[in-house]
Structure 1
Amino acid sequence: MRVGKAVAVAVGTLALALGAVACNDDVPSTSSANPPGSRAPAAAPPAGAPAGAAPAASRSAVAGAASSRSVAPAAGGSAEPVSSTRCHTGELKADVQLQPDFPGTAMVMLTNKGTRTCTVYGYLGYGGLLADNSPVTLGTSRVAHPGPPVEATLKPGTTAFSGLKWASCDKGDVSCHVLAGVTITPPDETTQLTANVLDANGKPLEQLTVSAAGFTVGSLQPSNQGVIFAS
């Protein structure tokens, strides 16, 4: 009888043990790499990367943000901010007014004909037009006259000024340029405009003879004071 009770106790102990194992199988394991509620570890920088270097994904995101702020290059390849105030060729008109007191000289007037305020700074470029409207290249020499260039802010309808001089020549000389027109390239622009060349009376000039040496060009100024080449 005592043997029977011992067997019964042993059987009962074994049943309890099996029940405990079954209950443990229902408990989620805590040995996984990322238990619920935890964050995955940050990606380690590649071998050889300097201390503090951002992971490649972070650097790509920063580079993308930076590129979205870049601006397209302007004509000629240089980058120009979208907010640039530089005057463009199509916004300008030019008059070349000959000076009767100083033969071979002119005052050049560059006027903003557009609707926005813009700026010019530097020197004008020059070319010539023959009677058939074909272009001719002229030599130019820049001179800081009456001084270095001064930035001119041009509201619509206002003007910047520059001096111009040249030596006349005999039309029969093969090196003489007989011009029916003058083209001007504004600073930092790549396109030209055709100037109105006016004689001493303010009337259009039909011909201008310019020697092989070409033009001597003064700097652009916000005022006409002193821009004429008086000697």
Structure 2
Amino acid sequence: MRVTRTVVATCLIPAALTLAACGDPAAEDEPGAATPSTAASADPTDAGSDTPGDGGTAACASADLSVDVTIQDAGLALLALTNSSSAPCQVDGWVTLAFERADRSPVEVDQEQVEQPGPPLATDLDPGESAFAGVKWATCDPALTDCAVVTTVRVGAPGDSATVVARVIGIDGNESVGELPVADVQIGSIQPSTQGVVAW
């Protein structure tokens, strides 16, 4: 089992049990400059800003995604990553989470990326399609120094340092924002369906 630990500060966490979510212009004037197709082959760095995923699909940036964090139970949530852009993109690996206090200041929370329900599966998302991951966290006493009280959860796409604010949905199905005491977080791998993603 591959496990990676990171420490991140970020996003939203909701209510009662709510978790607070991708050529050089001068060369054209020089004699003997390569044609565009030759230059692209000769310079692998001139490939654009999007990093291709498996099969040539560009990796999703955080800005390409809208994120829902749906609370399933105390300390357990289903995370849905929906492609809200106008082009296909791919997610593969693990998201990052960032947490904020009510005053929007960041809160450091230990994060562990776990292979649950298994290794991540590269998932191509057409516009409007979603991929999923499970998130578990330990509840704690807000009076303790190692307990973070968060009100906002932010989510970053794999490989992207930027994050977006997640929408948190409570157990009752209503969108709500409140305070959630969090001691540490486990983030499951990205999967193409909801099967098994919160069964660990």
TM-score, normalised to structure 1's length?
0.64
SS in 2 for 1:90: helix
**2:159 counterpart (178, 185, 188):** 188
Q: CA RMSD in A?
A: 2.3
Identity %: 33
Report the number of matched residues. Answer: 162
Q: Is the 8 A contact 1:146 1:219 kept in 2?
A: yes
* Displacement of 1:173: 1.2
Partner residue, 1:36 = none
TM-score, normalised to structure 2's length?
0.73
**1:93 counterpart (39, 57, 66):** 66
Check 1:74–1:184 CA distance in 2 against 1; reply closer, same or farther (3 A cut): farther
Which protein is richer in strand relative to its size?
2
Partner residue, 1:113 = 84
1:132-211 matches, within 5 Å, as: 132-203=103-174, 204-211=176-183
Partner residue, 1:129 = 100
Taking the aligned partners of 2:39 and 2:108, their CA distance within structure 1 comes to 41
* Displacement of 1:205: 3.0
1:25-40 matches, within 5 Å, as: none
Check 1:167–1:93 CA distance in 2 against 1; reply closer, same or farther (3 A cut): same
User: Which entry has the higher C-alpha Rg, 1 or 2?
Assistant: 1
Taking the aligned partners of 2:135 and 2:125, their CA distance within structure 1 comes to 21
* Displacement of 1:90: 1.2
Partner residue, 1:217 = 187
Name the amino acid aligned to 1:93: S
Structure 1: segments with no counterpart, 5+ residues: 1-60
Q: Is the 8 A contact 1:72 1:80 kept in 2?
A: no
Q: Is the 8 A contact 2:122 2:191 kept in 1?
A: yes
Runs of 4 or more consecutive aligned structure 1 residues displaced over 6 Å after TM superposition: none
Q: Is the 8 A contact 2:66 2:83 kept in 1?
A: yes
Which protein is richer in helix relative to its size?
1
Partner residue, 2:26 = none
Q: Is the 8 A contact 2:69 2:80 kept in 1?
A: yes
Taking the aligned partners of 1:151 and 1:209, their CA distance within structure 2 comes to 32
Q: Bigger relative contact order, structure 1 or 2, given CA contacts below 8 A and separation 6+? A: 2
Q: Give deviations 1:92-134, integer Å, cap 9, x for gaps.
A: 011111113xx21100000111111111000011110110011
